[in-house]
């Protein structure tokens, strides 16, 4: 007899559904933040690029600071008894930095670009779920990603922050203030 009962088995579809639920909530909050930021003059919206720069520097110095163990133990307390809800909660709980990245980035896009970007994001959730599912069986790959991810992610965040500031001509606005 199988040690796992039907109710506590892990099905890939539950993980995918949870990823989509958590990610959809992150994107929705980011879109609401983006539309609120649109009331600010464009050259100063670029200052939001400081958020991913800060997050990148923080990750570079401190590394990951999320306590996934605490999150997982609270999920196992029975409050979220469906796997997809647990995955959605973890995705959302670990996605605060995503909002800090998405809002500044979304403000640099036209409406058409924003729609295309969100569609691509949702397609990429499926791609990453599939890739993650396939890579989970290769221990060496996960070890390499774990080892070098600490360096790659901060570089991407800082680069995105600089891009956001440059795209909104914030550097020029700051220089004009200094030269004034």
Residue 81 has φ and ψ, to the nearest 5°, of: -90, -5
Q: 170 is in which domain, residue-wise? A: 11-179
The yes-or-no verdict on residue 118 having pLDDT over 90 is: yes
The yes-or-no verdict on residue 161 having pLDDT over 70 is: yes
Q: What is the mean pLDDT of residues 77-100?
A: 70
Question: Is 70 within the bounds of a domain?
Answer: yes
Question: Is 1 within the bounds of a domain?
Answer: no
> How sure is the predictor about 119, in pLDDT bands with cuts at 50, 70 and 90?
very high
Number of domains in the chain: 1
Distance CA 108, CA 165 (A): 9
Stated length of the chain: 180
The predicted pLDDT at position 5 comes to 44
The predicted pLDDT at position 31 comes to 94
Question: Is 91 within the bounds of a domain?
Answer: yes
Question: Is 144 within the bounds of a domain?
Answer: yes
> How sure is the predictor about 9, in pLDDT bands with cuts at 50, 70 and 90?
low
Question: Is 156 within the bounds of a domain?
Answer: yes
The predicted pLDDT at position 51 comes to 81
Question: Is 3 within the bounds of a domain?
Answer: no
The predicted pLDDT at position 4 comes to 43
CA torsion 24-26-28-34 (nearest 10°) is: -150
Least confident of 15-24, 25-34, 141-150: 141-150
Q: pLDDT of 67-87, one tens digit each? A: 555 545 554 555 555 777 777
b/e sequence 142-176, b meaning 16+ C-beta within 10 Å: eeeeeeeeeeebbeebbebbbbbbebbebeebeee
In 3-state terms the chain splits into helix, strand, coil percentages (rounded to 5) of 80, 0, 20
> How sure is the predictor about 122, in pLDDT bands with cuts at 50, 70 and 90?
very high
Q: Give me the half-sphere count of Cα atoms (radius 13 Å) on the Cβ side of residue 70.
A: 5
Q: What is the mean pLDDT of residues 30-44?
A: 82
Percent of residues, the chain, with pLDDT higher than 90: 19
Question: Is 5 within the bounds of a domain?
Answer: no
The more confident residue out of 150 and 23 is 23
Question: Is 25 within the bounds of a domain?
Answer: yes
The predicted pLDDT at position 66 comes to 53
């Amino acid at each position: 007899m199988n040690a796992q009962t039907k109710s506590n088995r892990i099905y890939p579809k539950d993980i995918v559904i949870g990823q989509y639920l958590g990610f959809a909530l992150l994107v929705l909050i980011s879109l609401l933040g983006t539309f609120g930021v649109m009331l600010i003059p464009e050259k100063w919206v670029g200052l939001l690029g400081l958020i991913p720069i800060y997050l990148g520097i923080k990750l570079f110095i401190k590394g990951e600071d999320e306590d996934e163990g605490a999150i997982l133990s609270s999920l196992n307390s029975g409050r979220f008894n469906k796997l997809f809800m647990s995955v959605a909660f973890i995705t959302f709980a670990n996605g605060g930095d995503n909002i800090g990245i998405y809002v500044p980035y979304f403000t640099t896009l036209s409406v058409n670009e924003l729609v295309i970007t969100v569609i691509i994001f949702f397609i990429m959730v499926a791609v990453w779920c599939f890739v993650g599912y396939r890579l989970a069986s290769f221990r060496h790959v996960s070890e390499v990603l774990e080892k070098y991810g600490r360096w790659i992610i901060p570089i991407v965040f800082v680069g995105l922050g600089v891009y956001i500031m440059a795209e909104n001509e914030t550097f020029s606005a700051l220089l004009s203030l200094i030269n004034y």
